[in-house]
Amino acid sequence: MTSPVSYKIVDDIGVISINNPPVNALSQAVRQGLLEAIRSAQTDASRAVLIQCDGRTFIAGADITEFGKPPAEPYLPDLLDEIEASAKPVVAALHGTALGGGFETALASHYRIAVDSGKVGLPEVKLGLLPGAGGTQRVPRLAGVEATLDLILSGTPISAGHAAEIGLVDKVVTGNLYDEALSYTKQLVNDNAPLRRTRELTIDTVDSSLFDSYRQNLDKRARKQTAPQRIVDCVEAAVTLSFEAGQKRERQLFTECMQDSQSVAMQHLFFAEREAAKIIGLPRDIARREIEQVGIIGGGTMGGGIAMSFANAGIPVTLIEVNAEALERGLSIVDKNYAGSVKRGKLSKEQAQQRRSLIEGDTDYAALADVDLVIEAVFEDVELKKDIFGRLDKACKPGAILATNTSYQDVNEIAAATSRPEDVIGTHFFSPAHIMKLLEVVRADKTAADVLATCMALAKRIRKTPVMSRVCYGFIGNRMLQGYFREAQLCLIEGGTPESIDAAMYDWGMAMGPISVADLAGLDVGYKARAALPVEKRGDPRSYRVPDALVEMGRLGQKSGAGFYAYDAETRKKSSDPAVLEVIEREATALGIERRPIEADEIIDRLIFALVNEGLRILEEGIAQRPGDIDVVYVYGYGFPAWRGGPMHYADAVGLETVLARINEFRERFGEENWTPAPLLEKLVAENSSIRLFSPP
């Protein structure tokens, strides 16, 4: 078998070339080839060694096909120690993305040259891991402690220019990297440059309080995550111990991360996100429609955010509103958002102006005659949406994709309002649309395959994480959320408080507690939706009597300054309000409920297992393609902690027998209406199987 690593001498320079497409991952074969080449260079006529990669990138990290398998020699830390110990200068030439073990390979080299478009980084924290091949020990010796912590804890790649500024790259070039790197290596030889082994460099002294400050910040920013805290421990070891002892500490903590359930969960999400973008049964080579111009119907908060998502990707947008006043109001929202991005340093003034220039407004549907895609983003009134789609059917050119941004409406019914249902699809953005990563792409019964493929690819183009859902009320995310919020309200009226319920879920890892989420969304939204339904279809009165009573008191949530909590008019900081407890107790008495203390464990299990049970129904019905899709939806759209892997992964992790037993207990205590186990759950338990092995019909 041909090695992915080749070696030859060019003008007295030993050139090691790695060719392991698509991203030159550090497979066992690459590691073995590198080791053999470095060893060969020690005894041949070369005067220095240049490590470079063919293709579009330097080593972009570990080989993901080896994840979960026993490690194979040569081990990366040992290989990098041997590179660093070379008796001849070793130069790494970086282009594309040098990430993880790839960047650690560069750090073990004596010098680093990079093309200006390149990026470097150590993203292991995003998988619940830490750099395990000397990264936490070598980076602080080159860049200092604070820059190291910022780089490794964020996991976000930085530009070659920035890397040069902090000492991680020695030279940045704009020309042909190979030629420049070869010339640079020759210059180092001619200048008799020293063997600058990173392990031999000293680290500037820092106050130990710096590490305490980072740990305290992580307690808030990365609540309950173990890898970030271990990263701080490793960098502190780099300062306080010898390189060898620090490296040993790094390996120990890396092993602990590998064995941690958090890393298992985050690696599951890593693969699940990539799988979610693939549509089962859809040919990979299917032709996609060109999307070069987009229309948005509705200039509210959601419509404006969607418009920004496209403009940020360089796609021109035409925003349609009912009249000039509404249009001006909508465009002002966009202006305000861009101004905020500039103020926070996310964009330069010039970048914001350039993106804003791509968004135009109009009040006439005729302005949509040439758009390739139009997204309707008005409020959730199915008759209004059908009317709009009837108008779009006439105004838009043949082949234009007609999309509805709806949270729960029937996309089939909306598509039927047109003469071309094959062009209709659902695109459920999450608020704020220009920030949130998730996009539920809703495939209606008659949606054409190329429309679906186009929208899935377009989501990536606008930097969204797409997940396909079939049509049902609420699709994947909001359908499951109904049970979650139902149990939150039931726990509240049965004996909890807004504070106790929010604290239980926040401490468990959710980004926000469910009561706070309700206040943020607006209690009047659910109130109006229920008011449009006959009483018998509104569900269990115990699950909505308290929020409805609050709405009728004028307490709509954050936007009115009061909901389940009271809010400061300027800061919107929430505080407890005794008046709410009075409402809860009054409504409980009216419904004949004897309130009781409810422990956090019960709150957590009721809310999370309600999600799991409905998720299993969604899987069995084929609404979601695979269990991991549901996990991606909940982590990226609903604040589910990534380190728990999503509701489906979590259920497998705690054990389906445990989940079923708890649901059966709740059925006995609270009735079968809300707590009938999903048939799929019972089936999987009977077969001693797991959710991750289930393939929907």
- Which residue is it, tokens 């319920």? 501
Going across the sheet that includes 119-121, the strands are 97-99, 119-121, 158-159
Active-site entry in 36, 66, 84, 124: 124
Helix (H) or strand (E) run with residue 626 in it: none
Distant-in-sequence contacts of 140-143, Cβ < 8 A, 24+ apart: 140/203, 140/235, 140/238, 140/239, 141/198, 141/199, 141/201, 141/202, 141/203, 141/238, 141/243, 142/107, 142/166, 142/167, 142/168, 142/198, 142/201, 143/167, 143/168
**Annotated catalytic, 380?**
no
Q: 684 with 656: CB under 8 angstroms?
A: yes
Active-site entry in 66, 82, 104, 244: 104
Rounded to an integer, what distance in angstroms lies between the CA atom of residue 612 and that of residue 646? 10
Distant-in-sequence contacts of 571-580, Cβ < 8 A, 24+ apart: 574/516, 574/519, 576/498, 576/499, 580/498, 580/550, 580/555
Sign (positive or negative) of CA dihedral 609, 612, 614, 616: negative
Per DSSP, 70 falls in state P
Distance of CA 265 to the CA centre of its chain: 13
How many Cβ atoms sit within 10 Å of the Cβ of residue 686? Answer: 10
Render 473-484 in DSSP notation, one character per residue. Answer: TTTTHHHHHHHH
**Cβ-Cβ contacts under 8 Å for 400 (sequence gap 6 or more):** 371, 372, 373, 374, 423
Whether residue 22 is preceded by a cis peptide bond, meaning omega within 30 degrees of 0, is yes
Helix, strand, coil tally for the chain in percent (to 5): 55, 10, 35
Continuous H helices in 622-655: 627-637, 647-654
How many Cβ atoms sit within 10 Å of the Cβ of residue 412? Answer: 16
Render 494-521 in DSSP notation, one character per residue. Answer: HT--HHHHHHHHHHHT-SS-HHHHHHHH
Q: 591 with 493: CB under 8 angstroms?
A: yes
Amino acid at 262: Q
**HSE, side-chain direction, 13 A CA sphere, residue 35:** 17
Per DSSP, 678 falls in state P
Q: 618 with 630: CB under 8 angstroms?
A: yes
Q: 215 with 128: CB under 8 angstroms?
A: no
Closest CA to 91 of 102, 77, 105: 105
Sign (positive or negative) of CA dihedral 245, 251, 257, 260: negative
Rounded to an integer, what distance in angstroms lies between the CA atom of residue 679 and that of residue 489? 26
Q: 627 with 642: CB under 8 angstroms?
A: no
Closest CA to 663 of 615, 623, 608: 608
**Annotated catalytic, 104?**
yes
- Which tokens is 515 given? 């009561």
Distant-in-sequence contacts of 576-584, Cβ < 8 A, 24+ apart: 576/498, 576/499, 580/498, 580/550, 580/555, 581/497, 583/546, 583/549, 583/550, 583/553, 584/492, 584/493, 584/497, 584/546
Write the secondary structure of 93-154 as one string of H (helix), E (strand) and C (coil): EECCEEECHHHHHHHHCCEEEEECCCEEECHHHHHCCCCCCCHHHHHHHHHCHHHHHHHHHH
Catalytic positions: 104, 124
